[in-house]
Amino acid sequence: MSVRYQLVIDCADPNRQAHFWAAALGYELAPPPSGFATWDDYYRDLGLPEEALTGGADRISDPQGSGPAIWFHVVPDAKAVKSRLHIDIHASGDRTDPIETRKRRVDAEADRLMGLGALNTVVMYEEGIDHYAVGMKDPEGNEFDIN
């Protein structure tokens, strides 16, 4: 039997990250639990101190309920090394589509995400290999790929 889980991403600015990743993944900002106007109200009810509150969005969810919830957890230390876990965004279509078509789709998605604050770091393509991807970083430097 599978288990429910959420993905947690450590960051400095949860509100910025939540908005970026909601737009990148087609997610929505997660509403606070029933009975609370905001997530901060919920966290206060749990007993968290004011300095632990974010003052904005820090969770996103898949509006269709099939993808994992994502929580952006504020941490004091900056990202220092390459992440051991990253998100792959599938934008290219089916492998049966021509490689040139898939490349255009990936590049278009990379352009869209750069407009949201991502940084393009590397194009992963070698002539004769039937794969094309773009490596990127989100606004806080977390790596992800578009393929």
Assess if residue 91 is contained within a domain: yes
- Residue 29's region, left for phi above 0, alpha for psi from -120 to 50, else beta, is beta
Q: Are 68 and 6 in contact (CB under 8 A)?
A: yes
pLDDT tens per residue across all 147 residues of the chain:
888 889 999 999 999 999 999 999 999 999 999 999 999 999 999 998 888 888 889 999 999 999 999 999 988 887 788 888 889 999 999 999 999 999 999 999 999 999 999 999 999 998 888 899 999 999 999 999 999
Determine the pLDDT at residue 69. Answer: 95
> If we measure between CA atoms, which residue out of 57, 85, 62 comes closest to residue 72?
57
Determine the pLDDT at residue 76. Answer: 82
Assess if residue 79 is contained within a domain: no
77 CB neighbour count, 10 Å cutoff: 7
Q: Are 105 and 98 in contact (CB under 8 A)?
A: no
Determine the pLDDT at residue 122. Answer: 95
DSSP reduced 3-state for 113: helix
Q: Within this chain, do residues 54 and 98 fall inside the same structural domain, yes or no?
A: no
Q: Are 109 and 89 in contact (CB under 8 A)?
A: yes
Can you give the pTM of this predicted structure?
0.89
**By residue range, what is the domain housing residue 104?**
87-146
Q: Within this chain, do residues 134 and 93 fall inside the same structural domain, yes or no?
A: yes
Determine the pLDDT at residue 84. Answer: 81
Beta-strand relationship, 132-137 and 143-146: antiparallel
Joined tokens for residue 48: 């968290």
- Residue 93's region, left for phi above 0, alpha for psi from -120 to 50, else beta, is left
Q: Within this chain, do residues 12 and 60 fall inside the same structural domain, yes or no?
A: yes
CA–CA distance, 44 with 21 (Å, rounded to integer): 25
Assess if residue 82 is contained within a domain: no
Assess if residue 81 is contained within a domain: no
Q: Within this chain, do residues 95 and 60 fall inside the same structural domain, yes or no?
A: no
Task: Name the domain boundary from 22, 50, 74.
Answer: 74
Report the number of distinct structural domains present in the chain.
2
